[in-house]
Amino acid sequence: MTSICVYGTVFNNVNTVEDSIKSVWSPDYDIVIVDNYSKDGTWEKLQELKKEYNLKLYRLKSSRGRGRAYALEQCPENSTTAYFDLDVMYNQNFHKAIKSGLKELFIFGPVMSYINSKEDILKTGNWRDLNFGEDIEFLSRQNISITFPLIIGKNEDVATKNLYIEREKRYSNFWKIRVLKNIIDQYRGWGISFSDIQIIYPYTKKYRAILILLYFISVVIGKYKNAYPNNYIYFIKKALSTIVDPKLYIKDINFHEGQIVLSRNIYNLLVKYNIKNYDNKLIKIE
């Protein structure tokens, strides 16, 4: 029987790691976690949980992408792998998808994951050293044969209008600088243009000069251009062209049509690149 390995990286998530690990744990899984030298007690909490949940723990000063890459490398050979985030609580859909035996399976939803063998992933290339946009860059290179529009978990409950900003504040006291670096990484990882970023984030138009500067910095550092017209559009085309009702493959999975939502801004980006043909019964626009 093929082994299953779930892997992830973590930084300053002491309040969520235990519940997240409990939600992905199964006695027949390997769980590999790379800690980016957390400063809030996350590493110590992981050490407490190590024996009970049979965790494989490592420390590496890294971006989110590099941490995931290192974690994947520690998964057993020939294992079926899926990445997870340690500020997310996962449900049974996550486990049913992993145990389905399906490969090259992309989970499309508020929480994403990709299920494939370690060897097949590494053939197309491991995660890049990016702190933001690393998932899109990675997925643009991976083979996607099936896409499930599925809810496999939810992020931590935080009473805030902007979860992203609250998360960045947790990661760094200089969170505004971190946000700027993330935009550079998004340009690089998604392979997008300045005009694309304005469509995705229309409220940033007043920061036009800063966004242009960050774009040119991303060009100097080096953007990843894996496909035409950019990594995001190529990835989303792969996902939308392979989208299916998960119940066709897993009878008892918890799925309802239209539960996965594309934001209006992302929809506008798809329209820019003339991508309109997909099953709108499975995905809705808001």
- For residues 233 and 278, give the distance between their C-alpha atoms in angstroms, rounded to a whole number: 14
| Tokens at 230, concatenated | 């950019």
The arrangement of secondary structure in 4-155, i.e. its CATH architecture, is: Alpha-Beta Complex (3.90)
Q: Which residue has the higher pLDDT, 171 or 146?
A: 146
pLDDT, residue 277, reads: 65
- Tabulate helix, strand, coil % of the chain (nearest 5): 45, 15, 40
280 pLDDT above the threshold of 80: no
DSSP 8-state symbol, 202: G
| Tokens at 12, concatenated | 């300053």
- Which one-letter amino acid corresponds to residue 172? S
- For residues 172 and 39, give the distance between their C-alpha atoms in angstroms, rounded to a whole number: 10
Taking residue 278's Cβ as centre, other Cβ atoms within 10 Å add up to 16
Q: Which residue has the higher pLDDT, 59 or 175?
A: 59
pLDDT, residue 285, reads: 82
279 pLDDT above the threshold of 70: no
Taking residues 177-186, report their average pLDDT: 94
Taking residues 141-161, report their average pLDDT: 86
Q: Which residue has the higher pLDDT, 168 or 196?
A: 196
- For residues 171 and 131, give the distance between their C-alpha atoms in angstroms, rounded to a whole number: 12
Domain ranges (residues) in the chain: 4-155
160 pLDDT above the threshold of 60: no
